[in-house]
Amino acid sequence: MLLGHGTFLRRALRRPDLTGSPVPTGTALAVEIAAVVPRTGSPTVVELGAGTGVLSDAIRARLGPGSRSVAVEVDADFVAYLRRTRPWLEVLHGDAADLSSLLTEAGVGTVDAIVSSLPWTLLPPAQRRAMLADAARTLAPDGVFATITTLTAVPERVRDLVRCLEGEFLDVRPTSPVWRNLPPARLYVCRGPRHAVLPVEEAG
């Protein structure tokens, strides 16, 4: 665990724009976000921005045999770390902005859950919107998308993120803040991807 923190801090000092935080997600928040992962069946779960694998471990703890756990990570050092320490994890080295093509290349079909800890509020609004739309489109009709937002994020950018989420999902729910996390954070849990559950003209 300390090895993970050291690796994370080194990358955060070099690329704060990618990590958005100097420390990995804490266990309590990791367990809370992983709770969206179905416990039954053999779901395909995609994690956006796996870092040193804290959320990957919490996701794995819920998955049964035959499930697929895929992590998309843009940073080469994190990718190497994840492949070394978590050989069971299917790590795709690439940008979450290219999610559909990365998943197609890896032979991943419909996705049951997307768990994200990407620093959405640091992205330019147009990029944020395009990436969220692409992510929503990979989900099954009963799929779920969950993302972390820290309470230290700029409120206007969080509002824009929520507007984007509401544009893609019928049901967007914030959780209560998890004060034990550093920094404190909450989740947005989103269900009902509009592209899959509404007729084309209504989904826009």
Ligand X SMILES: C[S@@+](CC[C@H](N)C(=O)[O-])C[C@H]1O[C@@H](n2cnc3c(N)ncnc32)[C@H](O)[C@@H]1O
Residues that bind ligand X (CB under 6 A): 18-21, 24-25, 48-51, 54-55, 72-75, 78, 95-97, 117-119
Which pair of tokens denotes residue 55? Answer: 């959320």
Residue number with CB closer to ligand X (72 or 190) = 72
Q: How far is the CB of 153 from ligand X (least distance, A)?
A: 11
Residue 146 Cβ vs ligand X, minimum distance, rounded to whole Å = 12
Rg (CA), the chain: 16
With respect to ligand X, which residue has the nearer C-beta, 18 or 197?
Answer: 18
Give me the residue label for tokens 């084309």.
200
Cβ-based burial of 91 (10 A; exposed 0-12, middle 13-18, buried ≥19):
buried
Query: What are the φ/ψ torsions at residue 111 (nearest 5 degrees)?
Result: -105, 135
Token couple for 23: 């420390």
Provide the minimum distance between the beta carbon of 170 and ligand X in the complex, in angstroms, as a whole number.
26
Report the residue number, 44 or 117, with the smaller CB distance to ligand X: 117
Q: Count the residues in the chain.
A: 204
Minimum distance of ligand X from residue 111's CB (angstroms)? 15
Of residues 73 and 90, the one with the C-beta less far from ligand X: 73
